[in-house]
Amino acid sequence: MHRSSLTEVSMAWVRVLALVFALLEVGVFKERYPAGYERWAWGITGVFAAGTVAFILLAYTVPSRVTWRRIGFAALVFDSAVVYGYIVVFSYELETPVRQLVFIPLIEAALRYGVLGGIAMPIVSAIALISIESWRKDRFDPMEFDLDRIAFPVGVQLILGVVAGSLVTRLREERKRASARAAEAEELRDELGRRADILDATNRCARALSSSLEIEHAFAAFIRELRGLVPFERMAIVLVEAGNIRVFATSGAGADTVFPPGSLITVTGSILEAVAAKGQTVYREDMTEPQYVEEPEFLELGLRCRVVAPLLSGPETIGAISLVRRDPHSFRAVEIELLGLLGRLVGSAVQNIRAYEAERETVEELRKLSALRADFVSLVSHELRSPMASVIGSARTLQQRWRELSPEQRESFLDLIAHETARLAELIGDVLDTSRIEAGTFSYSFDDVDLGELVRDSAAVAAQAQDEVGVRAVVRDHLPLVRGDRNRLRQVLINLIDNAVNYSPAGDEVRVEAIASDGMVLIEVRDRGPGIPSEHQKVIFEKFGRVAIGDKAKPGTGLGLFIARSIAEAHGGFLEVQSAPDNGAVFTLSLPV
């Protein structure tokens, strides 16, 4: 029930009590009336009774707030008319306290209209009392016009009206403030509920991200939660790496064709530049007119609305999370706010996952290094044991049977000792070179080098060292000079040619070709051996990396190609291989002119 209706109901029941009092006064407590006055008293009482019944019915039936104002004013007029009617009827008695009834409409006016009613009613009362006093003087002669009978009640009315009206006005203001505070409290409650919902949604996404340290599993769970909270046509997470943007994860429209995971985008001109500059979420309500370099790609997919929130790791923006929809102006404020909160969580989760990946890669590298070193110890032990055994055995034979051996036999044992000693020196040299490369103390002596001459010399040395596989050098045109260390480059070529010879079938040929191309000198060492599977082509360039290929393997520590690539890179070039099983291998040394 409205406050106005409650007031009218209360006033209606007060009017009922007043009617009972009026009936007692008119019918019981008054014994004598002047001629005709009793009839007027009962007439006013009858009108009062009828009005009381009418206003009770209106108090419980009228629903309109505007109508209540009219009813309230009519009720005040009615009550005032009844009060002054009784004052007129009983004005023949000077000693009667009937004029005290003027305080009833005063209180009612103050309750209804505050200070305004408390001031207006004494004015109305003054006019009415002046009229009644004038009428009484003329009607009941020799009574005189008594100003005090007007001034005193009107003055008291004015004082009471101002006091009561002020209290009512203050009460109403307090009520308004209380209502405003209640409304504010309700809004705060709703806001708190909304924040709680956002926090719960954020926690669910956080739990999804932390459900696994595997990138695929963690983001699959995160995307499922996010799609249920903030629907999207496309979602992407990007990271800032060395001035570029790397796409970390995508889902939805064009996930595999438009900026797929792993692709790089320049930061300049992208929306991430604006996000990083502000450190806040950027909302593109409509991308019909592109502002950033990547937006035309989204428009081709039919996507027009986009929200991009920064991924924060502390104060640093390390990337962004982007949600895109087809319809413009389709993201609500609560969704944008949720995405901003998720930016911090995703940023921390991405950092954790990246740290885990880095640690896992480190552990994997350490595991591989441990395995390689174990293999290295085994290989070195074997490689040292075999030549040492040969050297020791030959030396003891020469020592014990020198007189019995023929000169040819002595030369044979001495050649064997020299060969095995050379193998030991080569093995120790490779180990020392690797240590120097890792320590950064591998020395070079740069000068102008004629690679054509170096290729021919290296091929001739390799051909003379054995007679099973032919080695042919092909130098096209006149090669320009390169700046390099002749001995180190010779070491690379000898290693490549020896590997090709060792893995080539007997009677076959190894081809060493040198050409100039685009400011580079390319030296290709080609064989027709068993080839190298693609999964092993990186391993052979690692320290201690050895791969068993076919039924023929070169004895050694697996350091030769690692040293060769290190020397090539120190000259500003590179060493690479192209091969396939059963199709031989081509090692290419590229050096800048």
- How far apart CA 7 and CA 25 sit, in angstroms, is 27
Identify the band that residue 324 occupies on the pLDDT scale cut at 50, 70 and 90. Answer: very high
What superfamily does domain 447-592 belong to in CATH? Histidine kinase-like ATPase, C-terminal domain (3.30.565.10)
Q: Quick one: average pLDDT of 490-497?
A: 87
pLDDT at residue 370 greater than cutoff 70:
yes
Instruction: Note the pLDDT of residue 1.
Output: 45
Average pLDDT, the chain: 80
pLDDT for 501 equals 86
How far apart CA 223 and CA 208 sit, in angstroms, is 9
Q: Concatenate the DSSP letters of all residues of 199-231 into one string.
A: HHHHHHHHHHHTT-SSHHHHHHHHHHHHHHHS-
* Three-class secondary structure of residue 259 per DSSP: coil
Summarize the confidence of residues 372-384 as an average pLDDT. Answer: 65
pLDDT at residue 551, as a whole number: 52
Would you say 503 and 529 are in contact if contact means Cβ atoms under 8 Å apart? yes
Three-state secondary structure readout of 400-431: HHCCCCCHHHHHHHHHHHHHHHHHHHHHHHHH
Cα–Cα distance measured from residue 403 to residue 443, given in angstroms and rounded to the nearest whole number? 47
How many C-beta neighbours within 10 Å does residue 97 have?
8
Residue-level pLDDT at 157: 84
pLDDT at residue 305, rounded to an integer: 92
Four-CA torsion 360, 364, 369, 375, nearest 10 degrees: 160
Mean pLDDT (whole number) for 381-409: 76
- DSSP 8-class letter at 527: E
Quick check: 449 and 490 in contact, CB under 8 A? Answer: no
Q: What is the pLDDT of residues 171-188, one digit of tens each?
A: 888 888 888 888 888 888
- Quote the percentage of the chain above a pLDDT of 70: 88
Q: What tokens were used for 4?
A: 């106005």
Check pLDDT > 50 for residue 2: no
Report H helices in 307-466: 333-401, 407-439, 451-464
pLDDT classification of 557: cutoffs 50, 70, 90: low
Quickly state the pLDDT bin for 419 (edges 50, 70, 90): confident
Residue 213 pLDDT exceeds 70: no
pLDDT at 427 over 80: no
SS3 state at 326: coil
Lowest mean pLDDT among 58-67, 297-306, 517-526: 58-67
pLDDT tens across 52-90, in order? 888 888 878 765 555 677 888 888 889 888 888 888 877
Q: Does domain 215-354 have CATH number 3.30.450.40?
A: yes
pLDDT of residue 194: 66
Give pTM, 2 decimals: 0.41
Residue 240: is its pLDDT beyond 60? yes
- Which one, of 185, 460, 530, 202, lies nearest residue 349 by Cα? 202
Determine the Cα–Cα distance for residues 387 and 464; give it in Å rounded to an integer.
22
Digit-coded pLDDT (tens) for 457-468: 888 888 887 788
Q: What percent of the chain has pLDDT over 90?
A: 2
pLDDT of residue 105: 87
Output the CA–CA distances (angstroms, integers) from residue 440 to 84, 168, 436, 559, 568, in the order listed. 117, 93, 6, 16, 15
pLDDT at residue 156 is higher than 60: yes
Does pLDDT of 142 surpass 60? Answer: no
Where do the structural domains in the chain lie, given as residue ranges? 3-182, 215-354, 447-592
Please tell me the predicted confidence (pLDDT) of residue 216.
Answer: 66
Give the residue among 428, 394, 433, 393 at the shortest CA–CA distance from 410.
394
Q: Tell me the pLDDT tens digit for each residue of 36-55.
A: 778 888 888 899 889 888 88
| pLDDT value for 171 | 87
